[in-house]
Amino acid sequence: MHFALTEEQLAIQDTALTFAKERILPKAIEWDDTGHFPVDVIRETAQLGMATIYVPEDKGGSGLSRLDGALIMEGLAYGCPAISAYISIHNMVAWMLGKYGTDAQIKSWMPKLASMDWLASYCLTEPGAGSDAVALKTTARKDGDSYVLNGTKQFISGAGATDFYFVFARTGGEGADGVSAFVIMKDAPGLSFGANEKKMGWNAQPTRQVIMDNCRVPASHLVGGVEGKGFRFAMSGLDGGRVNIGACSLGAAAQAIDKSRDYMFERKAFGKNLADFQVLQFKIADMATELEASRLMIYRAADAMDRADPQASMYSAMAKRFATDLGFGIVNEALQIHGGYGYLKDYGMEKLVRDLRVHQILEGTNEIMRVVVSRKLLNGNRG
């Protein structure tokens, strides 16, 4: 066991962090304030191989590892976790297409995803089916050489601005075996979008309902060409999504620590720099320690996925819970170090607090993460 990144991984890490500092961070507060979704900047990451990170090269992807992906998401999130998290979602869709799509589907669609000419959205959650995703009600009925879909998806990142919708719908009876996966293009008849949700954070990416009202798609858009496999597809993507959202928390927390350290040397109180007060020295030491512990758990979970470790799902759930809880705590403490200035939008600290709060909810709430871990342990799987 060793804890050193390879030269290639260090280069990947540096590329993502440099891009975040140069192309994302300078505009992050403005995008949050205006609700601007920077499609042009997001598409630049495709030129760096960050649009199809884990898709094998023979299927049109970058052929990188899950650990490489975690390094990328962490680096990009230093600039803005909302932007990094959207890029993670796009990559999850591309990976699912590469893993489960037919040869014809991959050949037809992957080049556009790899170039980000098409941006992707992942459509599983419904108004009445969040943590209980198997209860989804959206239906897909076969009609000749088409499927007709009806239903509503909730909290869909990028909706309305993206082009390629990976949608889960019920083609059979109740339960997981009745769910199938479809690709719907933005211009499909019967597809529409709700109003952009007014959110606490993640304002740099739109979040809307995806509404299907007799939405007709070609039968060739059934992912994998087989009904009844969709729920299995959906669940297989969650481990990677959990690692990535934890990695996004790492990047934002790192930015918060850097800003806090700089502020502690700039700001004076009672004739001394804040950095001279032991209470703040201890606070930033704890923040850095918690970040490093979270980083180790995320990297460990990503490595477990790369090795197909049978405990990878448990490690991913543990890491997601730990990193998102501690990441939120770190940015909250960073705001406290900044005092009243931390509460002002111009300093960017309150944005990080708002952005990271949702990380404890999505990709499976942290309560569900505890369910995943406890089930593994109580079934005798202790790692």
Burial of 287 (0-12, 13-18, 19+ CB in 10 A): buried
d(CA 130, CA 321): 17
Catalytic pick among 197, 292, 363, 367 = 363
Would you state the structure tokens that stand for residue 114, as one six-digit string?
């790899």
* DSSP state letters, 279-319: HHHHHHHHHHHHHHHHHHHHHHHHHHHHTT-TTHHHHHHHH
Residue 168's DSSP bridge partners are 181
Q: Is 22 a catalytic residue?
A: no
305 neighbors 243 (Cβ within 8 angstroms): yes
CB of 335 closer than 8 Å to CB of 343: yes
| 360: enclosing H helix or E strand | none
| Measured CA distances, 260 to 130, 138, 266, 275, 276 (Å) | 36, 46, 10, 10, 13
Among residues 114, 72, 75, which one has the least CA distance to residue 93? Answer: 114
Angle, CA 229 vertex, CA 228 and CA 235 arms, to 5°: 130
Catalytic residue set: 363
